[in-house]
Amino acid sequence: MFGLLEGLVEKNKEYIKDGDVANYIPALSKVDKNQLGIAIIYLTKDGYKDYFAGDYTTNFAIESTSKVITLIMAMMDHSPEYVFQKIGTEPSGFPFNSILNMNINNKEVPSNPFINAGAIVVNSLIKGKDSEEKINRILNFTRKLANNDFIDVNEEVYLSEKRTGDINRSLGYYLKGKNVISGDVEDILDAYFKQCSISVCALDLAKIGSVLANKGVCPWNNKKLIPEDICTITKSIMVTCGLYDESGSFAVHIGVPAKSGVGGGILATVPNKMGIGIYGPSLDSKGNSVAGIKLLQELSKTLDLNIFE
Q: Give bridge partners of residue 283 from the DSSP assignment.
A: 20, 289
SS3 content of the chain, % helix, strand, coil (to 5): 50, 15, 35
Residue 38's φ and ψ, nearest 5 degrees, are: -145, 145
**Distance (Å, rounded) from C-alpha 303 to C-alpha 266?**
18
**180 is annotated as contributing to ligand binding:** no
pLDDT, residue 104, reads: 45
Catalytic residue among 42, 56, 244, 279: 244
Which residues, in sequence order, are CB contacts of 9 under 8 Å at separation 6+?
Answer: 36, 37, 38, 53, 54, 295
Task: Please say whether the beta carbons of 191 and 69 come within 8 A.
Answer: no
**Distance (Å, rounded) from C-alpha 206 to C-alpha 215?**
14
Catalytic residue among 13, 67, 235, 294: 67
Does the annotation count 262 as an active-site position?
Answer: yes
Does the annotation count 192 as an active-site position?
Answer: yes
Does the annotation count 51 as an active-site position?
Answer: no
Does the annotation count 67 as an active-site position?
Answer: yes
User: Is residue 6 packed enough to be buried (19+ CB in 10 Å), middle (13-18) or exposed (0-12)?
Assistant: middle
**244 is annotated as contributing to ligand binding:** yes
**82 is annotated as contributing to ligand binding:** no
Instruction: Please give the share of the chain, as a percent, with pLDDT higher than 70.
Output: 91
**42 is annotated as contributing to ligand binding:** no
Catalytic residue among 192, 199, 239, 270: 192
**Distance (Å, rounded) from C-alpha 252 to C-alpha 306?**
9
**Distance (Å, rounded) from C-alpha 197 to C-alpha 118?**
18
**262 is annotated as contributing to ligand binding:** yes
Domain positions in the chain are 1-303
DSSP secondary structure, 93-138, as one string: -S-TT-GGGG-BTTBSS-S-TTSHHHHHHHHHHS--SSHHHHHHHH
Whether the predicted pLDDT of 91 surpasses 80? no
DSSP secondary structure, 171-229, as one string: HHHHHHHTTSS-S-HHHHHHHHHHHHTEEE-HHHHHHHHHHHHTTTB-TTT--B-S-HH
**14 is annotated as contributing to ligand binding:** no
Q: What is the mean pLDDT of the chain?
A: 92
Least confident range from 100-104, 255-259, 267-271, 278-282: namely 100-104
pLDDT, residue 98, reads: 56
pLDDT, residue 105, reads: 44
Catalytic residue among 121, 262, 270, 290: 262
Whether the predicted pLDDT of 97 surpasses 70? no
Catalytic residue among 31, 56, 64, 157: 64
Does the annotation count 249 as an active-site position?
Answer: no
**Distance (Å, rounded) from C-alpha 92 to C-alpha 95?**
8
Task: Please say whether the beta carbons of 267 and 277 come within 8 A.
Answer: yes
Average pLDDT (131-153) is: 98
Average pLDDT (67-83) is: 97
Cα dihedral 24, 57, 37, 114 sign: negative
Average pLDDT (281-289) is: 92
Which residues, in sequence order, are CB contacts of 14 under 8 Å at separation 6+?
Answer: 291
Which residues, in sequence order, are CB contacts of 211 under 8 Å at separation 6+?
Answer: 145, 217, 218, 219, 225, 226, 275
pLDDT, residue 245, reads: 58
pLDDT, residue 78, reads: 97
Going by pLDDT thresholds of 50, 70 and 90, the confidence category of residue 252 is low
pLDDT tens digits, one per residue of 33-73: 999 999 999 999 989 999 999 999 999 999 999 999 999 99
Of 61, 188, 200, 227, nearest in space to 143 by CA:
200
Superfamily of domain 1-303: DD-peptidase/beta-lactamase superfamily (3.40.710.10)
Indicate the length of the chain as a whole number. 309
Q: Are strands 265-270 and 258-260 parallel, antiparallel or unpaired?
A: antiparallel
**116 is annotated as contributing to ligand binding:** yes
pLDDT tens digits, one per residue of 163-219: 999 999 999 999 998 899 999 999 999 999 999 999 999 999 999 999 999 999 999
Residue type at position 195:
Q
